[in-house]
Amino acid sequence: MESYTLFEYFHNELANWKGFGADKDEHISILEDIGYKVGISLCENMCKDRPRFKEEVDVLRFLCRDFWELCFRRSANSLKTDNAGTYVIQDSEFRTLTALSSGKQFLTDAPKFLAYPCGLLRGALFALTLNAHVTVEVTQIPAAKFKIDILRK
């Protein structure tokens, strides 16, 4: 059963879809917003019958293992933190970037394949009561470095 395969074709279509917004930036923000809404509902459904997370870092561990595996089909490679509300998650083969040939040639195309995922992560964190700012950096496709800043209430 491969509904993930169909999801991937669908996400690639969204990334390339010309109907979202007048320009590249608007397209990116619309994709991020779609991901955000999905991330909230998906994470709520995933965590319905899970015990509450004790520590903030436990939420981030859940994000870069269970949530990552569901949405991106592997666990992230590493989770680092400065213990002041900033976390960095690295994935050496980020799933949505594998749609692009590796190396530096398509770096300019990377943002539209990362907008929806960033929204997913922000939405998942929101569902777990953490307001966050999610940004991503790509220096070499398909590796991606996500920076998550937890916004203090």
| Candidate list 15, 27, 32, 34; residue touching another protein; CB under 8 A | 34
Cβ-based nearer residue to another protein, 1 or 84: 1
Alpha helices in 17-153 (DSSP H): 24-47, 56-62, 68-72, 110-127
| Candidate list 4, 24, 78, 129; residue touching another protein; CB under 8 A | 4
- Interacting residues of 27 by C-beta distance below 8 A, sequence separation 6+: 17, 20, 21, 112, 115
Radius of gyration over alpha carbons of the chain, in Å? 15
| Candidate list 24, 37, 74, 133; residue touching another protein; CB under 8 A | 37
For residues 117 and 33, the answer to whether their CB atoms sit within 8 Å is no
Q: Does 13 bind another protein (CB under 8 A)?
A: yes
CB of 152 to another protein, least distance (A): 26
Binding-site size, another protein (CB under 8 A): 34
Q: Does 6 bind another protein (CB under 8 A)?
A: yes
Residues pairing with 120 in the sheet: none
Q: Which amino acid would we find at residue 62? A: F
CB of 26 to another protein, least distance (A): 11
Phi-psi region of 74 (alpha: psi -120 to 50; beta: other; left: phi over 0): beta
Return residues touching another protein (CB under 8 A): 1-7, 9-14, 16-17, 19-20, 30, 33-34, 37-38, 41-42, 45-46, 50, 61-62, 65-66, 70-71, 116
